[in-house]
Chain A
Amino acid sequence: MRRVLTNNSWTIGLAGLLAFLLIATKVIQPDFGVSGLDSLARAALPFALASVGMAVVVIAGGIDLSMAAMMAVASVTGAVLMNGASDGEAALAVLFVLMVGIGMGAINGTLIVLTRVPDIVVTLAMLFVWQGVALLILNAPGGSAAPWLRGLIVGGVTLPFLPAALTEWIPKALVFLIVVVGAIWLPLRRSKLGLRFYAIGSDPLAAYRSGVPVGPTRIAAYAVAGLFAALGGLSVTMGTGIGEPIPGPYLMASVAAVVLGGVVLGGGRGGLLGPILAVLVLRTVRMDLTLLSIDPNVAAIIEGTIMAVVVMFGAVLATRGRKT
């Protein structure tokens, strides 16, 4: 039990910070309630999916700067295919977009492994490539999302046996996030492939010597990131009802959430729950600052400062822990 607590202290701390921030929100804005929580969760959804995807590559010792651009490709592909389509066709479109995401990620990973050019350079180049692709598919926001798809993330959950007054507090967007990430990551984390992600991120040489196929594993990590980017792009389309060809502010936000979420840049350490909580923390901070009607420029400075302080605090705690 103690071990579980110490191994997950960072995540537990983040959950505590989030709880504190939600209470602070209620104090700042007494009528913050069901609809506020719902819109917070929906706004956080694409950020969370981008961060989860980024976290997977970072755990495997890489980074993917084309995350937001891949999301844009997925968003417009989905919106164009679903425009005027039946429910069944829309479901096929979703599957297709997920395949496209895996494909884009695999292309990023393959280029990195084959050319041996640093990941940061390859994915920076691919950022521009995917941006161009998104604009070729749809040169202005447009298309549409299937109504049933939008219904997945709007409003509260309804559950039998439980009063609606209780379940309406659980935003569908949050449930969607947990189900999707859980369905992909939990089996992966327990599989050999998941173990290999951590291994190549932690020590590529030792992993190679332990018989891990380093190149294919790296490609797989980027493909999983691409899958999450596709889900993130779809969630943008689901939220707004249209396809967005211009990448949103998801790249830097995802790196920030990964760092704040306790995933070590450089690889090998961390999980996906931390980055998700970090996204919620960062979105809540932003919402609180807006509610306090603080100048957005000042708000940006405060957000950056919070991140730096929290991460430094974590580093200090980590060195302390190692010494004792």
Chain B
Amino acid sequence: MTPAGTTSAVLDAQGVSKRFGAVVALKDASLQVGRGEIVALMGANGAGKSTLVKILTGALKRDSGHVRIHGRDVRLTSPGAARASGLVPIYQEPSLIPDLDVADNLRLCETPVEPFRHWVAELGIADLRMDDAIRALPLATLRILDLARALAVEPDVLMLDEMTAALPTDLVERVLRTVRAQADAGRSVIYVSHRFREIAAICDRATVLREGLTVGNLKIEPGIEEHIVELMLGGAVTAPERQATAARRAPGEARLKVRGLRAGTRLSDVSFDLYRGEVLGLVALEGQGQDELFDVLAGNRPALAGGLEVDGKAVAFHHPADAIAEGLTLVPGDRAHALLMSRSVRENIAVPLLARIRNWGAIAMGDEAARVGAAIERLQIDTRAQGEVRRLSGGNQQKVTIARWIAKGVKTLLLFDPTRGIDIRTKRQIYALVRELADQGAAVLFYTSELAEIRLACDRVVVIFNGRVVDSFDAAEADEARLMRAAYGLTAKDAVPA
């Protein structure tokens, strides 16, 4: 039961399971953290990592299993209860109240002020006033305040969930040093992160989840990241089903050139070219800047630096309509954002069409019906439930979001994780649809959280890590292990120092 290298675990979670309806998020997860130990919690998308984090922090109730802190069974019914049991989490987003000042935020969760001040200074924030409103402080400062607030209550177990994601490099170093020093002084730390470099720098062990199971518990040592990647992937790396073809890109200039793009706090510097006739895959772990990239390309958010060129012409989008006018069309990850849920399939397909057929005045019914009919037929959308889009299955809804652009004709299609939560048959239809669009001359950018899709649907792939392009290669070479390694930023310079 006890993991190698620890005598008595401070936190001991065993056999934790959780299901949501028919979906099993966690089957049998376990995690032990000893005194003075930093344990990395790792897992690919959908491995159950965030479910386990939520259970440990009291945001979700476990179905079975037990969680012990210092050998005592703890009831984790709410974040407040978890705090009281000695487990203090720091989340990916700040959890300070924006409308209260610093002092009131401390009072809210009974944080002693003097230790808090000590940690704030220790972490390098010199000019903090206790009556500063949280709303007015920069994001990086808030992350530091979160950490200082957690350290000030001297928790038994500190949990950091992707806390360095929005921090500048110098603060990351300071945070890592402080966390390591805390562990050396005897505190226990759970470190949830995608970043091997940070894990190698401070963690003692890594616990790896896959498909809701704890599949590994490894000591961190040089070269271990290959082993961790293998564990996260499992043995089930299947052979490619589609023979990826040689470059299909149409000759000539790139349809879309992205140069040195920076936006928000996460997208730092991304450049790539997208050609007509190709499907360019995009792979990134959660929160590496891909959301910001799609926002900029669709005109939802301004770029802070860098530029875009469409057909060789420099453009800047101030509004989604600007992007659409340049032929860039976004199919968002959340289908509910793209569709008029209570309207019919026909109307949904026709909406973008209206903007083209006639800008003003009556709708040309005959023309509309013909184009929409053709689109429905091509997609094999089950139209028995076509009265209201909300009654369609998720897969069919997703087909509608793509179908509307086929009906209109599209130059550049931006797909954000279009197959999430869709059955395999519909996924295949969507790949075929995307391929057909590309063959007609469309340029397609295809972000996916499922690594296997790159080989099935794309020609080339670009991998983004930490807001930058870290790798780019042909889809034929894109086996899951290589993609996973690249997505975790495991290039030569970031390898674990020997």
Write the residues of chain A forming the contact surface with B, with a CB cutoff of 8 angstroms: 3, 192, 195-196, 198-199, 201-203, 205-213, 268-269
Contacts and interface: CB of A to CB of B under 8 A. Distances in A.
Interface of B: 57, 59, 78-80, 83-84, 89, 91, 94-100, 104-105, 107-109, 131
Contacts of B108: 192, 195-196, 199, 207, 210-212
A212 B83 CA distance: 11
B83 A195 contact: no
B41 to A, nearest CB: 18
Given A209-B89, A212-B108, A268 B99 contact: yes
B107 A201 contact: no
Contact of B104 (A195, A203, A206): A195
A195 B97 CA distance: 10
A210 B98 contact: no
B91 A198 contact: no
B91 A210 contact: no
Given A3-B131, A198-B100, A268-B97, A210 B109 contact: yes
Contacts of A205: 95
Contacts of A202: 97-100
B83 A211 contact: yes
- Which of A202, A203, A209, A211 has its CB near the most chain B CB atoms (within 10 A)? A209
10 contacts: A199-B108, A203-B98, A206-B96, A209-B57, A209-B59, A210-B108, A211-B79, A212-B108, A213-B80, A268-B97
- Which of A198, A199, A208 has its CB near the most chain B CB atoms (within 10 A)? A199
B78 A199 contact: no
A206 B97 contact: yes
A178 B83 CA distance: 39
Nearest to B90: A209
Given A206-B94, A211-B79, A268-B97, 10 more contacts: A196-B108, A202-B99, A202-B100, A203-B99, A207-B97, A208-B78, A208-B79, A210-B96, A213-B78, A268-B98
A269 B99 contact: yes
A211 B108 CA distance: 8
Contact of B100 (A195, A209, A213): A195
- Which of A207, A211, A268 has its CB near the most chain B CB atoms (within 10 A)? A211
Nearest to A211: B80
A198 B78 CA distance: 20
Contacts of B80: 211-213
Contacts of A210: 79, 95-97, 105, 108-109
B163 to A, nearest CB: 13
Nearest to A215: B78
Contacts of B89: 209
Contact of A198 (B57, B83, B97, B131): B97
Contacts of A203: 97-99
Contacts of B83: 211
- Which of B57, B59, B78, B84 has its CB near the most chain A CB atoms (within 10 A)? B78
Contacts of A269: 99
A209 B146 CA distance: 11
Nearest to A196: B108
A3 B91 CA distance: 31
Contacts of A211: 78-80, 83-84, 108-109
A211 B85 CA distance: 12
A211 to B, nearest CB: 3
A195 B107 contact: yes
Contact of B99 (A192, A201, A208): A201
Contacts of A199: 97, 100, 108
Contact of A206 (B57, B95, B131): B95
A192 B97 contact: no
A206 B80 CA distance: 12
Contacts of B84: 211
A238 to B, nearest CB: 35
B10 to A, nearest CB: 20
Contacts of A208: 59, 78-79
Contacts of A207: 97, 108
A68 B83 CA distance: 41
Q: Which 4 A-B pairs have the closest CB atoms?
A: A211-B80, A268-B99, A202-B99, A209-B95
B181 to A, nearest CB: 25
B79 to A, nearest CB: 5
